[in-house]
Amino acid sequence: MRRRVEYRLTAWRLPCIAYDTCLIATELIVNACEATPGGEIRIRFSREPAAVLLSVWDASDRMPAVRPVRELTPADLDLSPEHFDDNGGWGLPLVQALATECGVHRTTPTGKWVWARLAVRP
């Protein structure tokens, strides 16, 4: 999906926001896959007059939870093999920092769209 985002941004003559957009795409897609393992996700990527909009849908009703940003030290992490993957959860603050705006909308009967908008300078 990152490649598709890059190709689309190049076609739109917006390669300057490719890195940030791909980072956001990765975070939203991974979160959707984790929320609905083995389930369907949907991705929308569109151009607006002054921005690009990336949205990812998953079937889970669980809303994303953003951890407060704080400085981590090695002592904060559990790097033991059985807990190594439990050290994540810091991606949504990255999305908030890189996107002009972001949010989530519930869908019926289930699921949600998580989205991020990135401004494009003229």
pTM exceeds 0.75: yes
Contact 116, 96 (CB under 8 A): no
Q: What is the DSSP letter of 66?
A: P
Burial class (CB in 10 A: 0-12, 13-18, 19+), 50: exposed
pLDDT classification of 16: cutoffs 50, 70, 90: very high
Domain boundary assignment for the chain = 2-119
Q: 2-119 domain in CATH 3.30.1380?
A: no
pLDDT, position 108: 93
